[in-house]
Amino acid sequence: MTAEPEPLRFDVVTLFAPMFEAVTGNGVSGRALARQLWQLHCWNPRDFAMDAYKTIDDRPYGGGPGMVMMAEPLREAILAAAAARRGQALPEAPVICLSPQGRAIDHAMIAGLVSSRGATLICGRYEGIDQRLLDRYVDEEWSLGDFVVSGGELPAMMIVDAAVRLLPGALNDSLSAQQDSFVDGLLDCPHYTRPPVFDGVEVPPVLLSGHHARIAAWRREQSLRVTARRRPDLIQRLRDGQQLSRQDLKILDESAPGKS
CB-based contacts of 47, cutoff 8 Å, min separation 6: 77
d(C-alpha 178, C-alpha 187), whole Å:
12
Active-site residue (options: 72, 76, 127, 141): 127
Residue 180 known to be catalytic:
yes
Please give the Cα distance from 71 to 58 (Å, whole number). 10
CB 140 within 8 A of CB 120: no
- 100 flagged as catalytic: yes
**190 carries an active-site annotation:** no
Element housing 84 (H / E): helix 71-87
Q: What is the chain's Cα-based Rg?
A: 23
Catalytic residue flag (residue 45): no
Write down the catalytic residue from 60, 100, 188, 231: 100
Catalytic one of 72, 141, 180, 188: 180
Q: CA–CA separation, 111 vs 165, rounded Å?
A: 10
Give the E-state strand segments of the chain in sequence order: 8-13, 38-43, 57-58, 68-69, 95-104, 118-123, 128-129, 140-143, 197-198, 201-202
The residues annotated as belonging to the active site are 100, 127, 165, 180
